[in-house]
Amino acid sequence: MIVSVILGALALLLTVSGLVSVLSYLVEQRTRKIGVRIALGASSQQVTRLMLAQTTRPVLFGLLAGARLAASLATLVLATEAGAMISEIVHVTDPVAYVSSMLVIVVACLCAAFLPTISSAG
């Protein structure tokens, strides 16, 4: 059980670090657009809302698709003999684990989009 927790935490850490680097890079690429919007009269709050909406929408769609895929794969794993033995030790369909990992990913993505936006808009 400890090994599965460590591997799950490592997978979550790799996911978050990848998403943070990609999202912060994408926001940094939009620095000129942010400057143009501010020069045309947009407030920093409007620019921040726009950047957050544009970066979190694909992440939320990806999370929903990933959750469906993970639930489907968990159902397939539980249908096997090895899955039945594993399910006695590890709860493959634990909703708390799914929700908490999704929350960590969403918060990390919001921070990854918010911090570069604030530095270039503020």
Give the structural domain span for 82.
42-122
Q: How many domains does one find in the chain?
A: 1
> In angstroms, rounded to a whole number, what is the distance separating the alpha carbons of residues 11 and 113?
21
Which pLDDT score is estimated for 122?
Answer: 61
DSSP state of 80: S
Query: What is the reported pLDDT for 69?
Result: 92
In a domain, 14, yes or no: no
DSSP 94: -
Q: What is the dihedral of CA 17, 21, 27, 31, to 10 degrees?
A: 140
Specify the pTM: 0.72
Give the residue-averaged pLDDT of 89-94: 76
Q: In this structure, is residue 62 part of a structural domain? A: yes
Residue 94: inside a domain, yes or no? yes
Tens-digit pLDDT profile for residues 47-63: 888 888 888 888 889 88
